[in-house]
Amino acid sequence: MSYLLVLLLVLCLFVNPCLSDPRATEAALICTNNTASVPQHDTFLQNFFAAMDKVTPLIATQRHAAVVNGSTGDTPVYVFGECMKDLTNEDCGVCFAQCKTQIFWCKPFQRVNRGGRLFYDGCYLRYDDYYFFNETLSVEDKTVCGSQEFVGNGSVFSANVNQLVMNLTAEAPKFDGFSVGFVTNENVTVYGLAQCWEFVNGSDCEYCLASAVSNISSCTPKEEGRVLNAGCYLRYSTEKFYYNSTQPVRNGNQGSKLAIALTATSSALALLLVIATVVFIVRKNVLKRRRERKQLGAMLATVNKSKLNYKYEVLEKATNYFHNSNKLGQGGSGSVYKGVLSDGQVVAIKRLFFNTTQWVDHFFNEVNLISDIHHKNLVKLLGCSIAGPESLLVYEYVPNRSVHDYFSAERKSQLLRWEVRYKIILGTAEGLAYLHEELETRIIHRDIKLSNILLEEDFTAKIADFGLARLFPEEKTHLSTGIAGTL
């Protein structure tokens, strides 16, 4: 073990020290509410999901994305996302993946909610129903100050903050809209970062950051402060929070650069780096678990340990970000996509038209119940994803599609023989008999139709969506006095 530690210390002398931290800590969530219900909400929601699908691969390749889905008069949705420029590509992906799952707290599925901004310390995501890509400042811009006051010489601290933010805002427009640095005077050090979003440049960047400097002064003598504008981000802190990026760090203490460079070559720093990495990973995992418990309640521990739980990012990647080429069909409850998991398993993934954030316990319990139902004439429910921006159900993949496909114009040349039709009818009846009579908790399907009867390679019938009515939230209850099913 001692030889391994010595080898690690030697290797650390030849690499640039860098602690992985996606800074996926929420700075602010700003949701836009319209006072009146907005028409064409279903179209807006479809455009919202489509736009979000397009953003992720762009972030992965270029670290920023500006997407428009839908045309004028067709409730278009505008989405923008970007990572802080000091983050590594890996941390950028982690930060944005978490940011994308949490933007749904703005509840775009409600008719009055048509816009949202989510500021993380490592990335940013915004969606709206109007063109905002040329927006520098807005009435919803926000200043967020820390809770702890600086202990020490307050006047020196305030002066350092003022000097730092002035330096950053002067340099950022000259260096691709980004600058990091620190100021040290009289043993008081303050660190900072300034960044304009990709669609803001030149004089607009200067204007946005000048406004940020004016607003952030209200945070001193707090140890930390952030200004979250429509076109830029400005932060200062007594703790160093940014990476040592490729851009030179500019500050008020030039002698510190040489000291840092010399220290980085010493074995003492290498040992400190190893210890700090371990402490950081442990602390990061603890904080992540606390946030998750707060967001989804005690049920989350059960969900995470369950074999039924799938990560949203895994399913998104399995379908190539829900690409249309993988779409199998669409019904009244959601769209179905073919997906290939990392282990090669082929599955069918249904994107439901509602979100489970407010009723996660009920939803997961129902999935848990239905996943235990095994019958040769029922489609197997493998699990679900409930912590992402939308609700997903994961089913076994049935290769021969539905009976409906064999009566469509595309497959008239493959008409089913009478003995095959009899086999399908008998299999469907056996599946229904199992649901109605053999289960302890009886399930009434209420929507038997050609598209809900899937076919295996040997034309064994499998009933799909047999438990979906149970999975709808209370406001979408399956109990009604109206005519049920499909016309």
Q: Side chain identity at 284, as an amino acid letter?
A: K
Q: Which residues contact 68 (CB under 8 A, 6 or more apart)?
A: 51, 76, 77, 78, 79, 131
What is d(CA 130, CA 230) in angstroms, rounded to the nearest whole number? 14
Residues 348, 465: Cα–Cα separation, whole Å: 12
Q: What is the DSSP string of 283-308?
A: HHHHHHHHHHHHHH-THHHHHHHSTT
Measured distance CA(56)–CA(246) in Å, rounded: 25
Q: What is d(CA 393, CA 381) in angstroms, rounded to the nearest whole number?
A: 8
Helix (H, G, I), strand (E, B) or coil at 165: helix
* Sign of the torsion formed by the C-alpha atoms of 151, 156, 162 and 165: negative
Alpha helices in 297-407 (DSSP H): 299-305, 312-318, 360-371
Bond from prior residue into 22 cis (ω within 30 degrees of 0): no
The H or E element containing residue 66 is: strand 64-69
CA dist 162 and 385 (Å) reads 46
- Separation CA 463–CA 448 (nearest Å): 8
Q: Return d(Cα 273, Cα 277) in angstroms, integer.
A: 6
Confirm if 280 and 19 have CB atoms less than 8 A apart.
Answer: yes
* Close Cβ partners of 280 (under 8 Å, ≥ 6 residues apart): 19, 21
Residues designated catalytic: 447
The rounded distance, in Å, linking the Cα atoms of 397 and 346 is: 6
Question: Are 409 and 388 contacting, i.e. CB atoms less than 8 angstroms apart?
Answer: no
